Amino acid sequence: MSTSTEPRKRVDRSHLLYIGVIVAVVLGAAVGLLAPTVGVALKPLGTGFVSLVSMMVAPVIFCSIVLGVGSVAKAATVGKVGGLALLYFLVMSTFALAIGLVVGNILKPGTGLEITGTFTGAPEEKVTTVDFLLGIVPTSLLSSLTSGDILQALFVALLVGFALQRLGKRGEPVLKAIRSFQTVVFRVLAMIMWAAPIGAFGAIAAVVGATGAKALLGLATVMIGFYVTCALFIVIVLGTILKLVTGVSIFSLMKYLAREYLLIVGTSSSETALPRLVAKMEHLGVKKTVVGITVPTGYSFNLDGTAIYLTMASIFIADALGKPMVLTEQIGLLVFMIIASKGAAGVTGAGLATLAGGLQAYRPDLVSGVGFIVGIDRFMSEARAVTNFTGNAVATVVIGVWTKQFDREQARRVLSGQDRFDETTMDADEHAPEPVAVPTPVAQEPARVPVA
């Protein structure tokens, strides 16, 4: 009798979390509709989960900004490629944030819900401009990470990041230590996200119990609106830029990256497709220099989908709580998100933590409303990841054209199917276009030198 057994296929735990959130949302909605009083009584479950996420906001933002400033310095040292990439990322992320604000103000899916009695946040404090600016300076360097004031954490992170820049090589050990600390922070955040089904169950049950089916309609509206906005952003904005600059169709590029999209949808993270994007961009005809700078930097600084999500979700929460943000507050939120959103991609829960951080910085009375959106955050993560990934693919090709490091003929062969990507090697060197600018005589010249 043969005792050999086939190895069991490892279950992707992220799928279990996804299923858990779906089940929790359905059960929470059912409890809220069938037993409203019980649903409202479950509010502490959602509040507790928001508190767990808020606990991680300061360390997530501190690590992301410190390491992000280091990435800027590193990318800028390579000259034209780094400078163009950073300028492009800044413009596109700001544009995406603005689109989120515009769509959020047009749809207004949270208007009329009036869930203030369900999710009560900290009272809004009226402070003068001088008090606000002075409040950014913490009591001590470390207190910025423990006080819960996100602007203080952001201020100190920028100071530390620029200080490490000036230190050069002497600052590398500190950067490595912060990078290791960030790994721990994100691991803790990932652990917290396993409580998302419980938080979603309590939050949805409470809000549905208080407002009825109207809350479900509002959540569905913001979710569908976000998906449509991301799709239009990819096709119209990114597609137009790609076509005008490179002549490449966005649909051809997306077809070429089809396998990567399947991987992203399955994991709800664009990080999982980063190595494949590097190899495929080189195979497409973008030179190594451009790919090596643009792709990794873009994964921290070019987060179009996350940007749209942050501003749309903020508008939704403010309207749902019956405390809409005025234009000046929206602009202030946009400026904060331009900085704080860097590094929010690729890690489950980081986008939710950044959302909580943005609200806590400008409207602390809205932070508790984050619990309301927990139930649909997981469903929106795929659209965020796909949009982020597409934005970085387009950016890589565009920067390649601008810096004259893009082989159009190679791209034509690849996108037409004449030169297929070899899935068996997955080695970027195997897929990079052969150099054609090195003359043969130069390579043979040493052979002509007489040897004594």
Q: Looking at residue 44, which CATH number applies to its domain?
A: 1.10.3860
Task: Answer yes or no: is 450 within a domain.
Answer: no
Reported as a pLDDT band with limits 50, 70 and 90, residue 161 is confident
For residue 140, pLDDT over 70 is answered with: yes
Task: Note whether residue 177 is domain-resident.
Answer: yes
Per-residue pLDDT tens for 364-373?
Answer: 778 877 877 7
Q: Closest Cα to residue 32, out of 204, 247, 242, 219?
A: 204
441 within some domain: no
Highest mean pLDDT among 202-211, 274-283, 404-413, 415-424: 404-413
The average pLDDT across 311-340 equals 80
The mean pLDDT value of the chain amounts to 76
Does residue 7 belong to any structural domain of this protein?
no
Within a domain: 122: yes
- Is the pLDDT score of 238 beyond 90? yes
**Segment 80-116, tens digit of pLDDT:** 777 888 889 888 988 888 888 888 888 877 766 666 5
Q: What is the tally of structural domains in the chain? A: 1
151 vs 93 pLDDT, higher one? 93
Half-sphere exposure of 113 (CA within 13 A, CB side): 34
Classify residue 174: in a domain, yes or no. Answer: yes
CA dihedral sign of residues 301, 305, 307, 309: negative
The answer to whether 4 and 178 have CB atoms below 8 angstroms apart is: no
Structural domain for 156, as ranges: 13-431
**Cα(355)–Cα(204) distance, rounded to whole angstroms?**
18
pLDDT (tens digit per residue) in 28-87: 888 888 888 888 888 888 778 777 877 777 787 787 777 766 656 666 656 677 788 888
Report the pLDDT value the prediction gives residue 86, as an integer from 0 to 100: 82
Check pLDDT > 60 for residue 449.
no
| Rounded CA separation 70/387 (Å) | 25
**SS3 state of residue 275:** helix
Dihedral sign for Cα 227, 230, 233, 234, please.
negative
State the pLDDT confidence band at 299, using cuts at 50, 70 and 90. Answer: confident
pLDDT value, residue 124:
47
- Average pLDDT on 278-292 reads 85
